[in-house]
Amino acid sequence: MSKLLPKLARAAVTGIGATAVMDAGGEVVRRTTGVEPLDYRLLGRWIGHLRSGKVRHENIRAAEPVPHERELGWAAHYTIGTAFAAALVAAHPTWVRRPTLLPALLTGVATTAAPWFIMQPAFGLGVAAAKTPDPALVRWRSLRTHAIYGFGIFLAGTAVAKLVPVRGQG
C-alpha cells in the first residue's frame, strides 16, 4: 500500500491537470469558433436519473432537471478524467518517471470511446452521434476534445514528474 499511494496521488494530480487542460482547450475552441463545449450539467442530469434506473434518454436536454446537476456533472467530469489518467499509470507504471507524449495522446484518443459508445447513446444522440444532424462533425469534435485531454495528460504528467520526482523503484 505504501508504494501504491504515491502512484495514485500522481495519477490523481495528472488526471485533474489533464482535465483542466481539456477544459481550457474547450474554452479556446469556444472563443475561436463559437462552438460550445459539453454542458456538464447534462452529465449531472444523466447521473441523477441513474438512481431511478433510467440509463437511456430520448433527449437528455428534455429530461427533468435534477438537484445540483451542474455540480454533480463537473465533479463526475473531473473524476472520470482522473480515472482515465490512473488507467494509463496502471498500464505503464514507469511512465510517471519520464512521461512521453505518445502513450498520453493514445490514452486521450482512446477515451473517445466513452462519449461515442456510452454518453452519446445514453443522451439520445445515438452511437457515435449517429442521430445528430452532422454525425461526422460531432465525432470530430469529440476526438479533438479527447486528443487535447491526451496532450493534457502529457503536460500534467511532465509537470508532476518535474515537481515531485519519483524516488526509488517503481
- Asked if the structure places residue 142 within a domain, the reply is yes
pLDDT at 170 exceeding the cut of 60: no
pLDDT at 1 exceeding the cut of 70: no
pLDDT at residue 13, as a whole number:
96
- Asked if the structure places residue 33 within a domain, the reply is yes
- Asked if the structure places residue 91 within a domain, the reply is yes
- Asked if the structure places residue 52 within a domain, the reply is no
pLDDT at residue 74, as a whole number:
98
Q: Can you give the pTM of this predicted structure?
A: 0.93
* Structural domain boundaries, residue 149: 4-37+80-163
Q: Mean pLDDT in the chain?
A: 94
pLDDT at residue 4, as a whole number:
73
Q: How many domains does the chain have?
A: 1
- Asked if the structure places residue 128 within a domain, the reply is yes
Residue range 66-87, pLDDT digits in tens: 999 999 999 999 999 999 999 9
pLDDT at 168 exceeding the cut of 70: no
- Asked if the structure places residue 64 within a domain, the reply is no
Burial class (CB in 10 A: 0-12, 13-18, 19+), 144: middle
- Asked if the structure places residue 54 within a domain, the reply is no
- Asked if the structure places residue 134 within a domain, the reply is yes
CA–CA–CA angle 15, 45, 47 (5° rounding): 60
